[in-house]
Structure 1
Amino acid sequence: MIRLYDTIEPNVIDEELLKLAVEEQGPQEAAGQVAKQEGINFKDVKSLQLDFQNILRIDNLWQFVSLRKLQLDNNIIEKIDGLESLVNLVWLDLSFNNIETIEGLDTLVNLEDLSLFSNRIVKMDAMDSLVKLQVFSIGNNMIDNLLNVIYLRRFTYLRSLNLAGNPICEDEEYKLFVTAYLPDLVYLDFRLIDAHTRELGDAKYQYSIYELKHRENQIQAKLEEEMATVAELEKHKAAYVEYLNGPFLFDSLYSEDVEAAKLAYLPGVPELLETYKTKFVEICQNIFDYGLVQQEKRKAEVAIFYECLEEALQENRKQGLKEVEDFDKIYTAYLHTIRNSNDIQFVDNKMSECAEEISRLFDRLMTLEMQLVEQLEETINNFERNIIDMVGVFVENVQGLMAQCRDLENHHHEKLLEISINTLEKIVKSEFDEDLPDDVRALFSDKDTVVNAVGASHDIHLLKIDNREDDLITNVTSWCTATVDKVHNDELDRNRKRVKEINQYVDHLQTDLDNMDFGDLLD
């Protein structure tokens, strides 16, 4: 018999190799023959053995989405890749290959057992996503720095580690270092870590580990803070008021405004600008606070709707089940009567009666479904009106607050223009004694230049305010439309599915009744 690994030239993982491997490793004899005849569905395969195949590159495994165990040891693989779709993989053996770098494992979030034994790896890294890793074998590689071990501290479920055969094992402090820095480790190099070794390691490295824990805690605290910030921002985005809880919008007015930066040198403008900023930020905060409140109201409205929807569906399912159960008793009685009768005419009559009962069941189930459709249509329409009204009120109030921002900008523009014209008049009359940068003084060559500069600044500010208002209104309106559309589409899909179920069930009953063998009944 020719085995899979009877090959000399470098091999590739192609369709033929995969089919042969699955067939050899799958059920044999009669069950195996059936599987071959019906075809092999790779997406259902749980375990795959491709050892001793002289495989150079991992490829064509994307169909094995349910794979839990993959054996690729004793090949000539140089690079870890092609595993992206194997998200359900729990056990992976890549030992006895030519791998130099750990990579390509990012999607294997369920991996618990990983063997990279006997390769050419010099560094342990790029495994951050393996959060469930429990067993890790990386012996007989080229790891020569004990600090590599510290990387493994992030794997909180790691209990068994094999490093035997690496240069670091020659260090006399190897075992003490590993047991001290990996306190949850139970087995090292296939041997149980004894209490004495652990105590010696803890004593020797207690101070350095204390400092390491302190740094790790700082990193963790910073990470949690960043995650909290991201979560809070997502909450603000869900309310469509992100970056309105502070000076963000105001600062954006001036971020690209070159003329405003020049005009800020004029006497009285800094104070004017500060007053403008205070009032502007206050309005933005009002929009922000109002937006969060309205978001909670929208969420509550959606939650209440789905609670009502589920309640109606549950009641309808209960009634439908009761109809089926009641019918089943009648149906069973009919079948019993038919099977125990020798009278062809009587049987024929009973079968007709039974068919009528099936028809009545169909009518009752369809009536229940139509009642549900009417009930849900009213519920959905009420929800649609409520959510549209809520969004409409929200938009209207936001527009009013944004109008206040524009009023502030207009007022600021008028004051700034007034200061600028006064400054121009003083410069013309040689009554202006303040020192101004050359580019600022150049603005006051004539009135048109001053007016244009102030006007350009004003236009930029209004555009920023308008754009932020448009974004908010567009986003919340789009959400409203998408939410309402989804509710209608989901109900349409549910109704179609339910009608199909009723028809299939009734057809099944009628077919079983029609296929009853009269010859058997008369025996």
Structure 2
Amino acid sequence: MNRLYDMEPRVMDDEMLKLAVGEQGPRDEARQLAKQEGILFKDVLSLQLDFQNILRIDNLWQFENLRKLQLDNNIIEKIEGLENLTRLVWLDLSFNNIEAIEGLDTLVNLEDLSLFNNRISKIDSLDALVKLQVLSLGNNQIGNMMNIIYLRRFKDLRTLSLSGNPVAEAEDYRTFICAYLPDLVYLDFRRIDDHTKELAEMKHQCSVDELKHQESLMQAQLEDEQARWEELEGHKAAFVEHLNGPFLFDSMYAEDVEGSQLSHLPGVGELVQTYKDKFVIVCLNIFESGLKQQEKRKAELDTFMGCVQEAIQEKQEQGKHKIAKFEEKHLLTLSSIRDESELTNFEKKMAEHSEDITELVNVLVTLEMQLVEQLEETINMFERNIIDLVGLFVENVQSLMAQCRDLENHHHEKLLEIAISTREKIVKGELDEDLPDAVRPLFVDKDTIVNAVGASHDIHLLKIDNREDELVTRVNSWCAHLVDKVSAAEGREERSQEGRLRIPPDGPAAVCPADSQGRDHEEPQAREGDQPVRRPCAERAGQPGVQRPPGLGLWPSPPPDPRTSQVEK
């Protein structure tokens, strides 16, 4: 199992990688062409680096589209350097010196993994491989049978190899695995027969049922947590998270030492409860308003995206219709020009066809400019609407937060009255209730109790102000980012459209009376007895009026969806 360092360890440098890519590339003439032009690492789909005496995995970050990687029969000690190979489907790390499974967290598309003949003693750190179908762990040091239960999470796993491990020497090795991995089809390169499955079910039924019960409880817990997380994310998108209950109120008292002490005064408990009930109602109003405004913003965004796509499709259909009609006439004109023997008629038809091309160009450019204007108007209207919606939401939030401050001010006044009244009773010896020892120092003099009530009040106001500022800042930042993104998309497409007008792409075929086999057209004789003059199409392509019209332009595919933008909350 231990591989000896018989040769000097090698480094995975550019020279090794280029050589491997070249050897595995195209053959014969294609290989020579590839050597001349070079092969980009990002275009490589399969890479074979076996028997290279590699000690460390490195320099693979450019192979971002790699699907298959062979690193078997080396002296690799650690799985690393694979972070960018997110499209990898097949990975062979067999016959190395790997001691732990690690470094695979980004390989979410991996289906086939071979770690055969290494030094691995524990099966773990494979959670990200949700598509795993084949796992080879034979000839390692896995000795704990219960470690195999870890593999139950891989629902697509069908082939498993564990032969050559201490765990494979257990008497009930095959039945244990068949019982706990019921979807497995092949174990140690042998198909699992029905008899083995039946025996496994009878032998391990009770323990498997208990495990399934535990897994169902854990799954329910995970689903609840996922649902809560999704709900919270929805609230964050509306900028009103933690406003659907007493969270803000509780946070006001979480760091308020004086407020907690003053709650022990006679009548303060009732006062605080009344304050809390009213405060939570206002918070719920903010929360419900935020969700409603979020729906309005989403509807506005959906409407905007729908209008943009509809406008693009409409102009594209009009452009396609114009081009199709031109192509029909174009074919007839070419046929007529080929059959024309009189020079005068030939030049006349060429001029007419040139006018048709110019007319088509003008029509397409007009359609494109109409689309630009239509989209610009739509974008401007969307920006105004979204800014207005955000403005209304902010005004409503500020109004409701002002109500929270009013409630806090009212509570502060009542609390101050109770505190001063309590001190007067203490001075006169008329207080019937005993105060906690931690509260008594507040009543040594009037200034102390007034300062304590004031400190509590300041903490509460600060919490309210901070929550309001956070909400307003985030929603305004979201709005500004959205508007900037839409405007930037518009600017990019306008520049793209200008480029298309300067450099026409392939549109309707240029007027070149060559036949379908590419033969040049014989121009008509200038006078009787002259020989036909052959001129190549390329030479005539520069004639006035013979040009390709631009294609239909702005946003041929829908613009970037602003909803995909993630704004820091």
TM-score interval for Structure 1 and Structure 2 normalised by the shorter chain: over 0.9
Q: Which residue of 2 aligns with 1:250?
A: 249
Alpha-carbon distance between aligned partners in 2 of 1:496 and 1:203, rounded to the nearest angstrom: 71
Q: Output one character per residue of 1:316-339: Cα deviation in whole Å (capped at 9) or x when no partner.
A: 111111122222233334444444
Alpha-carbon distance between aligned partners in 1 of 2:509 and 2:420, rounded to the nearest angstrom: 93
Q: Which residue of 1 aligns with 2:131?
A: 132
Q: Which residue of 2 aligns with 1:95?
A: 94
Q: Given residue 376 of structure 2, which amino acid in structure 1 is its aligned partner?
A: E
Q: Which residue of 2 aligns with 1:456?
A: 455
Residues 387-402 of structure 1: matches in 2 within 5 Å? 387-402=386-401
Name whichever of 348-357 and 267-276 sits farther off.
348-357
Alpha-carbon distance between aligned partners in 2 of 1:164 and 1:156, rounded to the nearest angstrom: 22
1:145/1:506 Cα in 2 relative to 1: closer, same or farther (>3 Å)? closer
Q: Which residue of 2 aligns with 1:4?
A: none
What displacement does 1:375 show? 2.0
Q: Which residue of 1 aligns with 2:562?
A: none
Alpha-carbon distance between aligned partners in 2 of 1:313 and 1:355, rounded to the nearest angstrom: 28
Q: Given residue 404 of structure 1, which amino acid in structure 2 is its aligned partner?
A: Q
SS in 2 for 1:136: strand
Name whichever of 496-505 and 194-203 sits farther off.
496-505
Q: Output one character per residue of 1:363-390: Cα deviation in whole Å (capped at 9) or x when no partner.
A: 2112112212222233223222222222
- Provide the TM-score with structure 2 as the length reference: 0.86
Q: Output one character per residue of 1:87-124: Cα deviation in whole Å (capped at 9) or x when no partner.
A: 11111111111111001111111111111111111111
Name whichever of 206-215 and 281-290 sits farther off.
281-290
1:136/1:316 Cα in 2 relative to 1: closer, same or farther (>3 Å)? same
Q: Which residue of 2 aligns with 1:314?
A: 313
Q: Which residue of 1 aligns with 2:212?
A: 213
Q: Which residue of 2 aligns with 1:167?
A: 166
SS in 2 for 1:435: coil
What displacement does 1:359 show? 2.7
Alpha-carbon distance between aligned partners in 2 of 1:480 and 1:210, rounded to the nearest angstrom: 53
Q: Which runs of 5+ in 2 are unaligned?
A: 1-5, 524-532, 535-569
1:410/1:513 Cα in 2 relative to 1: closer, same or farther (>3 Å)? farther
Q: Which residue of 2 aligns with 1:426?
A: 425
SS in 1 for 2:157: coil
What displacement does 1:517 show? 9.9
1:199/1:510 Cα in 2 relative to 1: closer, same or farther (>3 Å)? closer
**Is residue 145 from structure 1 mapped to residue 144 from structure 2 by the alignment?**
yes
Q: Output one character per residue of 1:455-502: Cα deviation in whole Å (capped at 9) or x when no partner.
A: 111111111111111111122222222222322322332333344335
% same residue: 64
Alpha-carbon distance between aligned partners in 2 of 1:503 and 1:328, rounded to the nearest angstrom: 22
Are 2:337 and 2:513, in contact at CA under 8 Å, matched by a contact in 1? no
Q: Which residue of 1 aligns with 2:264?
A: 265
Alpha-carbon distance between aligned partners in 1 of 2:119 and 2:520, rounded to the nearest angstrom: 76
Q: Which runs of 5+ in 1 are unaligned?
A: 1-6
Alpha-carbon distance between aligned partners in 1 of 2:471 and 2:522, rounded to the nearest angstrom: 74
Alpha-carbon distance between aligned partners in 2 of 1:269 and 1:238, rounded to the nearest angstrom: 37
Greater relative contact order (Cα < 8 A, sep 6+): 2
What displacement does 1:344 show? 5.4
Name whichever of 300-309 and 479-488 sits farther off.
479-488
Alpha-carbon distance between aligned partners in 2 of 1:30 and 1:380, rounded to the nearest angstrom: 53
Q: Given residue 257 of structure 1, which amino acid in structure 2 is its aligned partner?
A: D
Q: Given residue 74 of structure 2, which amino acid in structure 1 is its aligned partner?
A: N
What displacement does 1:8 show? 3.1
Q: Which residue of 2 aligns with 1:3?
A: none
Q: Which residue of 2 aligns with 1:407?
A: 406
Name whichever of 383-392 and 407-416 sits farther off.
383-392
Are 2:142 and 2:167, in contact at CA under 8 Å, matched by a contact in 1? yes
Q: Output one character per residue of 1:193-240: Cα deviation in whole Å (capped at 9) or x when no partner.
A: 011111111111000001111111111111111111110000000111
SS in 1 for 2:145: coil
Alpha-carbon distance between aligned partners in 2 of 1:514 and 1:483, rounded to the nearest angstrom: 52
Are 2:20 and 2:49, in contact at CA under 8 Å, matched by a contact in 1? yes
1:335/1:504 Cα in 2 relative to 1: closer, same or farther (>3 Å)? farther
Alpha-carbon distance between aligned partners in 2 of 1:492 and 1:225, rounded to the nearest angstrom: 44
Q: Which residue of 1 aligns with 2:224?
A: 225
Are 2:95 and 2:116, in contact at CA under 8 Å, matched by a contact in 1? yes
**Is residue 73 from structure 1 mapped to residue 109 from structure 2 by the alignment?**
no
Q: Which residue of 1 aligns with 2:504?
A: 505
Are 1:54 and 1:75, in contact at CA under 8 Å, matched by a contact in 2? yes
1:81/1:378 Cα in 2 relative to 1: closer, same or farther (>3 Å)? same
Q: Which residue of 1 aligns with 2:288?
A: 289
Alpha-carbon distance between aligned partners in 1 of 2:369 and 2:359, rounded to the nearest angstrom: 15
Name whichever of 146-155 and 434-443 sits farther off.
434-443
Q: Which residue of 1 aligns with 2:180?
A: 181
Name whichever of 347-356 and 322-331 sits farther off.
347-356
Bigger share in helix: 1
Alpha-carbon distance between aligned partners in 2 of 1:347 and 1:55, rounded to the nearest angstrom: 72
Name whichever of 294-303 and 87-96 sits farther off.
294-303
SS in 2 for 1:161: strand
Are 1:365 and 1:502, in contact at CA under 8 Å, matched by a contact in 2? no
Are 2:390 and 2:475, in contact at CA under 8 Å, matched by a contact in 1? yes
Alpha-carbon distance between aligned partners in 1 of 2:495 and 2:347, rounded to the nearest angstrom: 34
Residues 436-455 of structure 1: matches in 2 within 5 Å? 436-455=435-454
Alpha-carbon distance between aligned partners in 1 of 2:486 and 2:385, rounded to the nearest angstrom: 14
What displacement does 1:292 show? 1.0
What displacement does 1:399 show? 1.5
Alpha-carbon distance between aligned partners in 2 of 1:312 and 1:428, rounded to the nearest angstrom: 81
Alpha-carbon distance between aligned partners in 2 of 1:414 and 1:397, rounded to the nearest angstrom: 26
Q: Output one character per residue of 1:223-277: Cα deviation in whole Å (capped at 9) or x when no partner.
A: 1111111100000001111000111000111111111112112111111001101
Are 1:366 and 1:499, in contact at CA under 8 Å, matched by a contact in 2? no
SS in 2 for 1:320: helix
Name whichever of 449-458 and 134-143 sits farther off.
449-458
Q: Which residue of 1 aligns with 2:105?
A: 106
Q: Given residue 214 of structure 2, which amino acid in structure 1 is its aligned partner?
A: R
Q: Given residue 269 of structure 1, which amino acid in structure 2 is its aligned partner?
A: V
Are 2:334 and 2:513, in contact at CA under 8 Å, matched by a contact in 1? no
Q: Which residue of 1 aligns with 2:548?
A: none
Alpha-carbon distance between aligned partners in 2 of 1:420 and 1:514, rounded to the nearest angstrom: 102
What CA RMSD, in Å, does the superposition of the two structures yield over aligned residues?
Answer: 2.2
Q: Output one character per residue of 1:50-90: Cα deviation in whole Å (capped at 9) or x when no partner.
A: 01101111111111111111111111111011111111111
SS in 1 for 2:504: helix
What displacement does 1:308 show? 1.6
Q: Output one character per residue of 1:281-311: Cα deviation in whole Å (capped at 9) or x when no partner.
A: 1111111112112211211111112112211
Q: Which residue of 2 aligns with 1:84?
A: 83
Q: Given residue 180 of structure 2, which amino acid in structure 1 is its aligned partner?
A: Y
SS in 2 for 1:368: helix
Alpha-carbon distance between aligned partners in 1 of 2:307 and 2:11, rounded to the nearest angstrom: 57
SS in 1 for 2:394: helix
Alpha-carbon distance between aligned partners in 1 of 2:513 and 2:503, rounded to the nearest angstrom: 15
1:512/1:41 Cα in 2 relative to 1: closer, same or farther (>3 Å)? farther
1:517/1:358 Cα in 2 relative to 1: closer, same or farther (>3 Å)? farther
Name whichever of 397-406 and 490-499 sits farther off.
490-499
Q: Given residue 455 of structure 2, which amino acid in structure 1 is its aligned partner?
A: A
Alpha-carbon distance between aligned partners in 2 of 1:324 and 1:481, rounded to the nearest angstrom: 40
1:384/1:434 Cα in 2 relative to 1: closer, same or farther (>3 Å)? same
Are 2:138 and 2:161, in contact at CA under 8 Å, matched by a contact in 1? yes
SS in 2 for 1:70: strand
Q: Output one character per residue of 1:435-473: Cα deviation in whole Å (capped at 9) or x when no partner.
A: 233442222222222211111111111111111111111
Are 1:351 and 1:513, in contact at CA under 8 Å, matched by a contact in 2? no
Alpha-carbon distance between aligned partners in 2 of 1:518 and 1:167, rounded to the nearest angstrom: 79
